[in-house]
Amino acid sequence: GQIIPERRYVEAINRQAYQYEMGDFPTEWEAWIRKKRNDPPTIEEILKNENYREEMKQKVKDLSEKDQLLQAKEYKEGLVAEPVHTHVKGHASAPYYGKKEPLQDPTSTASAFQPGSWMPPGSGSSSS
C-alpha cells in the first residue's frame, strides 16, 4: 500500500557523473529531472529554445552597441553631461587625510573627530 515516487535520472555518456557541472544539460532536461515539467523535452524544442536564446543575445549586443553610439553622439553634441570621475582621497578608516588647515565646519573621519574652527568673516574658504 505504499506509493513510490517516480525517479528521474540521466545516464552519463563519455563522462563520469562527478565530471558534470551546472549548465552541461539543457535547461529543459533539468526542469524535467527536477519535476518542474511533466513531459521530457523534444530535440526540436531544445533547438528552438537554444536558437531563441542566441537570437536574444545578439539583439542585446546590437542594442548595447547602438546605445553606446547614441551616448557618444549626445556627449559630443553636449546634450548629456559626461559621467564625472570621482577622485578618492585617503580612506574612511584613516584618521586624517587631505588638507590639514583648520576648517570652519566640524569633520569626522572614522574614529577621529575634528571640531570646527572660528574664522573671521570674509577670510574663510567655506563661508563664501
Mean of per-residue pLDDT scores for the chain: 78
Instruction: Inform me whether the pLDDT recorded for 15 exceeds 60.
Output: yes
Cα separation, 11 vs 71, in Å, equals 51
The mean pLDDT of 101-112, rounded to a whole number, is 67
pLDDT (tens digit, 9 = 90+) per residue, 26-55? 889 889 988 899 998 999 999 999 999 999
Contact criterion met (CB below 8 Å) for 107 and 96: no
Of 128, 96, 126, the closest CA to residue 114 belongs to 96
Contact criterion met (CB below 8 Å) for 45 and 28: yes
